[in-house]
Structures are given as structure tokens and as C-alpha cells.
Amino acid sequence: MGKAIKTAVIGAGSAVFSLGLVRDFSLTESLAGSTIAFMDMDEERLERVHNLARRYATEMKADLRFEKTTDRKKALEGADFVINTALVGGHEDQETERKVLEEHGYYRGLHFPYHQLKLMLEVARDMEKLCPDAWLIQSSNPLPEGCSLMTRETNIKVIGLCHGHYGYRNIAKVLGLDLNDVTFQAPGLNHCIWMTHFEYRGEDAYPLIDEWIETKAEKYWKTHVPTFMDNQMSRAAVDIYKMIGLFPIGDTPRAGGWWYHTDLETKKKWYGPVGGFDSEIGWAQYLDYLRERVNHIARVVADPSVSVTKEFPPVQTDEQQVPIIDALVNNNEGRFQVNIPNNGVIPSIPDDVVVEVPAIINNRGVQAIHVGKLPKNLMLHVIIPRISIMERALEAFLTGDKRILLSIFLHDYRTRSVEQAEAAVEALLALPFNRDIAEHFKW
């Protein structure tokens, strides 16, 4: 017998995510009788998700209960788990910021996640009052900054989740390996994880990558037509591997160094014809992809005669939220990739920095798997600079010191003068939806 629990979903208007969550709950019999409380500020989107969830559970004959509210505190009351998937302002605000900053010489923009950090901290503090024993599963970015902030400033138990570690599957596919015989380990920081172990049928599989690079990579790059999300086996990923000594996994090749991103032609050189996920072409395709998925859901919601389970077959998703909940509640133990405070898991990284590592989760909690020391080359050139970026952002957020916000721009490779950085900061703060940020920061 399982146990029924209450899960509050903050930012539930993200219909694609919420539908996947309902699907996974419906397929997890040990969580029968559970309640999902959807919370979102957009009433129309909230109603759409609630409608779809009820229909899906009915078709699945799943014993689930659903609530909907625009009141965050009401959703949190009595919750055993809280999933925060909210993106404040959506992609629209981010695109507006990008356009303004490009006018000041910052190609593809520079994002300071003030609103995301503010929301994350508010949710965690509300949880301390309303459901202090609940687990918070943070499912929206930025995870290193947000999860480090929440675990430092509150006593809430936080797990951050991302999909990037599944990038190893793409490597296996390109190499022609049976995924069932592949094992891997990819620790680091979120969106900055590195394959320290890669084995096939018990043997080190890195030589297979090296052989592919030597004999097949050029043909692959010339003939393969990548999608906007297809960065795992790009020229950039291989170049990063050669420089660092470990293969970058998932979202990690997207960043690399600034030299992969100076302009669209450079992006195309390293990531293929689309220019990678973050190019103006790739990002536009991603937004189109999201719109089509949302429109698909809207069409299903608008037609009660349509079978929801036929449109969205009842197959377990790759999301880890529900399996983790099941492991913690019902002791259905599993191995997961999570973002948690380091606490000695990776030597040379401060304990209060949230890292991404494999972990065993059961009813005793989260037991991180100690991954050992990362190579010095990786620490010096990637990990330590990334932690510095995180710490600068958190200090700016917590203190409201405008000098620190300015320093974020001054440390960017696209900055050519103090005047350029100052003008960009002022333009960013002048945007109507950033009025609260402008009030927060003082010289």
C-alpha cells in the first residue's frame, strides 16, 4: 500500500509540464489518492490545466484529486511537496530584455534573474510558515543560484532538477551503443556537468568517443542535420572535451566559452546550420516549438470529445519529480540526478554551493553519491569561474548594491567600456516590468 500526499505546483499554467506531471502521477499506483494543487497567476491558463488534468485522470481511472488557485499560500497549506516550475514574466520579458541589451552591444543579451530569485525565496519562506516539513522540488532556472539562495536563507529541504544529464543518451545513440548497457556519471554544476565516468558493458567507453572523433566526426558534422536542441555531439562539444579532458553533457556544450558565441556565423561553425540552441535561429525555433505544444493542448482542452490519453499516451515521462516523491514517501528507492548543497560531495567546492550529482533517494532522504575530486583543469577553467558568477549574482540580489550589478556587466567579454556597461544597466532597469529591480538597487 502506498501513501496519499499533497503536491502544490507553483507556476502550474505551464501546461506541458503540468500535463506530464499528471500523467506520471496517474501511472504511479503507490501515490493513489493524492492531491495536486495547481497554482498560477494566470486564471485562463490555470483553468486549462485543471480541466485537462481532470479529464486525463478520469480516462486513466486514476485516483487523484485536483485543486486550483491563484493564491500561493492556499496552495502551500498542508503540502507534503512543492514543485516550483514558474518563469516570472515568461519568455516575452526575456526577449524584451534581450532586444534592449543588444542595442547596447550585448549580442544575445545578458540576463540577471532577479525576479526568479525573488520568487524562489518567497516560496521557500512561505513554506517555512505553511508547510515547513515539505520538500521543495525546484524545476525552473536558475538552479545553482536559486537553490543555493534558498538553502542558505531558509531551512527548507530543496532538490533542484534538470534534464541535461540525459545528454549521455545522445552520445550512446551516435556511437551505436545499446543504452541498456551504458552507465555514466556526470557531476558538476547545473548546466555545467561533465562525464567523469562512461562505461559500456563494464568497460571504459571513452576510447569509443575518441575513435568516433578520429574517424567519423567530420562526416557526421557534414551530413547530420541538427535540431535546435541538438548540441551534444557538436564541434563545440568535442572542442570543449579536447580542452578540458572530460566530455560536457547536456546543456553544458551550449555555454562553452565566449569564443563559440561571438556572432551567428561563429555559432554556426561550432553548432551547425542552426547555430545551436541559443542562436537567434535556434531560440526562435524553440519558442515556436513551445507555442505549438501549448496550442496542441489548447485544442484538446477546447474539444471535450477528444480523448486526452490518445493525444498524450499514458507513458511515463523522463521527468524525475514523481519518482522522487514516490521514493521519499513509499521507499521505492531509485538513483537520480539532483541539485543539492555540496556538503563535501565534490572536494574543493564550498559546502553551501548547490552542485549537480547522482544520488540514491528513499524514505531516509537524499544520499548523494560522492563523485570524487574533479580535475584541476576543469576546476580552474570552468567550475570556479561559474561559482564566482553565481556568488556575484546572489550578492547583488541580497544587498541591492548597484555596483555589483554593474560588475556583472563589466566582467562580460562584450563590454568595451564602463560607459557601455552603465548605459546597459540603466536601460535594463528602465523597462516597465523591471521597476521593482530599479527600486531595489542603490549606489
Contacts of 181 (CB under 8 A, 6+ apart): 200, 201
Cα distance between residue 283 and residue 268, in whole Å? 13
Catalytic residue among 24, 80, 126, 251: 251
Write down the residue that cell numbers 569561474 correspond to: 385
> Under a CB-based contact definition with an 8 Å cutoff, are residues 349 and 52 in contact?
no
Catalytic residue among 71, 163, 181, 352: 163
> Under a CB-based contact definition with an 8 Å cutoff, are residues 22 and 56 in contact?
yes
| 248 phi, psi to nearest 5 deg | -75, 140
- CB burial readout 385-412, b (16+ within 10 A) else e: ebbeebbbbbebbeeebbebbbebbeeb
Q: Is 251 a catalytic residue?
A: yes
Write down the residue that cell numbers 560531495 correspond to: 345
Other CB atoms within a 10 A radius of the CB of residue 270 amount to 21
Write down the residue that cell numbers 488557485 correspond to: 69
Helix (H) or strand (E) holding 199: strand 197-200
| Radius of gyration of the chain, Cα coordinates, nearest whole angstrom | 22
Cis peptide before 142 (omega within 30 of 0): yes
Give the orientation angle of helix 264-271 with respect to helix 280-302, to 10 degrees: 80
> Under a CB-based contact definition with an 8 Å cutoff, are residues 3 and 330 in contact?
yes
CA-closest candidate to residue 285, choices 221, 233, 227, 226: 227
> What are the contacts of 176-179 at 24+ separation with CB within 8 A?
177/205, 177/208
Catalytic (active-site) positions: 163, 251
